[in-house]
Amino acid sequence: MKHSALHAPALSPVIRSTSPSGPEGAVRALFRQADIEFDGQRPFDIEVRHPRVFTEILRNGSLGFGESYMAGDWECTQLDEMASRLLAARLDQKPIGVAQLKLFAHWLRSRVINLQSLTRAFQVGEQHYDIGNDVFERMLDPMMIYSCGYWERAGNLAQAQQDKCEMICKKLQLSPGERLLDIGCGWGGLAAYAAVHYGVHVHGVTVSKQQAEFARDRCKGLPVTIGLKDYRLLTGTYDKIVSVGMFEHVGEKNYTIFFDTVRRLLKPEGIFLLHTIGTEATAGVTDPWIDRYIFPNGKVPNGSEIVSAIRGRLMLEDWHNFGPDYDRTLMAWASNFSARWPEIKARYGGRFFRMWRYYLLGCAGYFRARQGQLWQLVLTRPDRKCAYRSFRLPSAF
């Protein structure tokens, strides 16, 4: 994807650091492990605009690094590539200074507290998904799909998201008249697609008020109902169940509850498709900056956690990984957001622009460095009698 539209405005004059000792020297040495220089000449090097960035990194690690960017203390032309290099070198696992203790405290908090309890379930909806539909309408494709597209044969974002929806419907083996439950339905794009193209009756649920209102409006006249409800409170039975981009909000302490709920709601011959970001990190904890500013209480699962949670509950039929496609998806979102930023600039301001740019491009680097993967799992009940055949959308070539 083209990066040229993603330059943030200059917020302060450039201040060149002169002393390589102390906090500055320690941080420069750390970043050189990823072949990144401060005030270097390459597009993925960091341009220092205020020397306090070095102290912030030592004091607060990745949280301080992100907050310094939001404050305009540093700039980077290719922020996505810079993030990819940092993560590929595992610098996120090498905090220095006081940041080491703060990262441990952040990890301990996630171990002790159920950050995704029923009483906290709506926090991510309020803080992230309800920031304003005008942001997402300008960033996403026309279907308003806020999850990884499938780029096997797509040349643009809209086609990648349509192909993803088609592949999901094929994997679920949808038939007219069936009841489909969409856990984490977003703005209703997949629900509308399944209802229109496969004739199914869809019930979608979300923890975002703005998503629910938008989805109800878009699905008027279709056999689709939308509820503002946590998955743990669902009742009834369904022929098929799907969850796209929601499992990252479930949390390790609730994985067994989630899969128990799916099994309870799924008919014996039914099929469940889980679409989620995944990681191979065994002791993963959400990045402190992401947790504070983007996705509160989130947790990316690793493979062993999922396998352990489904054991004795559901049968794994298929596991499909297309993680690199999220890099392309995020770069497309970043390009759209930057190009249409002037339309919403007056409402959100420059700090929001830098926060959102850092989020989108930093996450693109996360997938480019192969720290993040994108998994689609097909699961059935152990008592299902019909055989399941895996499906992939054919290539255009």
Q: Which of 52, 66, 51, 54 is nearest to 28 (CA)?
A: 54
**Which residue numbers are catalytic?**
363
CB atoms within 10 A of CB 331: 22
What are the DSSP calls for 192-223, one per residue?
HHHHHHH--EEEEEES-HHHHHHHHHHTTTSS
Q: How far apart are the first and last CA of the chain?
A: 21
Residue with tokens 């700090």: 351
The answer to whether residues 298 and 276 touch, using CB atoms and an 8 Å cutoff, is no
2: left (phi over 0), alpha (psi -120 to 50) or beta: beta
Q: Is 65 helix (H, G, I), strand (E, B) or coil?
A: helix
Sign of CA dihedral 331, 335, 336, 342: positive
Radius of gyration of the chain (CA): 22
Q: Is 233 helix (H, G, I), strand (E, B) or coil?
A: helix
Q: Is 4 helix (H, G, I), strand (E, B) or coil?
A: helix
The answer to whether residues 234 and 212 touch, using CB atoms and an 8 Å cutoff, is no
User: Which secondary-structure segment (H or E) carries 382?
Assistant: none
Angle at alpha carbon of residue 350, lines to 348 and 354, rounded to 5°: 105
